Amino acid sequence: AQKVTQAQTEISVVEKEDVTLDCVYETRDTTYYLFWYKQPPSGELVFLIRRNSFDEQNEISGRYSWNFQKSTSSFNFTITASQVVDSAVYFCALKLNRDDKIIFGKGTRLHILP
């Protein structure tokens, strides 16, 4: 069975601190995609990154970076120098190559305190 686990339910940090959101996934498929989404209070899911299972290269986009490690089935997300606008719920998600169903974790609610 496929599963995504985000063990951190809620995190609070002070502005300008770095914060890492953990994600562990389970699948026996060899071809799959991993995603991170941001959900602000408005409710819309904002796409942040997609990574396929054959690309373990880490990625940096501005203050955001992602660490994909197949050996530990983890796809962690780090925000550097956090800002109040980063406050939101963040979801890690998994999609197998054999269908178009996205499997979401339960999300991590991130509070950035001024």
Partner 1 sequence: DAGVTQSPTHLIKTRGQHVTLRCSPISGHKSVSWYQQVLGQGPQFIFQYYEKEERGRGNFPDRFSARQFPNYSSELNVNALLLGDSALYLCASSRGIGTDFNYGYTFGSGTRLTVV
Q: Which residues bind partner 1 (CB under 8 A)?
A: 4, 33, 37, 42-45, 47, 50, 52, 91, 93, 95, 99-107
Q: Least Å distance between CB 82 and partner 1?
A: 22
The DSSP string of 61-83 is: ETTEEEEEEGGGTEEEEEESS--
Tokens encoding 63: 């203050």
What are the distances in angstroms from CA 44 to CA 8, 66, 89, 99, 104?
Answer: 21, 22, 11, 23, 15
User: Which of residues 11 and 45 has its CB atom nearest to partner 1 in the complex?
Assistant: 45
Least separation in angstroms between residue 52's CB and partner 1 is 8
Cβ closer to partner 1: 105 or 112?
Answer: 105
When the beta carbons of 82 and 108 are compared against partner 1, the nearer one is: 108
Taking the complex as a whole, how short is the minimal distance between the CB of residue 106 and partner 1, in angstroms?
Answer: 5
Helix or strand holding residue 26 (H, E): strand 24-26
Closest separation between CB of residue 4 and partner 1, Å?
Answer: 8
The answer to whether residues 13 and 113 touch, using CB atoms and an 8 Å cutoff, is: yes
Q: For partner 1, which is the closer residue by CB, 82 or 91?
A: 91
Give me the count of residues in the chain. 114
